[in-house]
Amino acid sequence: MKVAISKWGNSIGIRIPVVIADTLGLRAGDQVACELKDDGLFMRKQQSTAQMFEQFYGKSFSEITQEDIGTAEEIDWGEDVGGEII
């Protein structure tokens, strides 16, 4: 699919076709992360922490319980070495 690049103030921009926006769940005002990869531009919709939890657990953020998450245990990484010694 080809799209045109347009002038937008001192910048340039592209219009995202509605079929792509709908497929990715993009809406006006959403934040995207841009990354240069090889010879192209890769954009990914930014997700909030709550959205990441909802996607992982398959339920709304307000329904996620401590039982879903489990318990966190302290991890012993061994003796401190280098710059992290306080």
Q: Please, what are the domains in the chain?
A: 5-65 (2.10.260.10)
Q: How far is CA 52 from CA 14, 47, 49, 72, in A?
A: 27, 6, 5, 18
First to last CA, the chain: 55
Q: What is the pLDDT of residue 51?
A: 84
Q: What is the pLDDT of residues 4-56, one digit of tens each?
A: 999 999 999 999 999 999 998 899 988 888 999 999 999 888 888 888 888 88
Can you tell me the distance from the alpha carbon of 70 to that of 74, in angstroms, rounded to the nearest whole number? 13
Q: How far is CA 6 from CA 12, 57, 58, in A?
A: 5, 40, 39
Higher per-residue pLDDT: 74 or 32: 32
Per-residue pLDDT at 84 exceeds 70: no
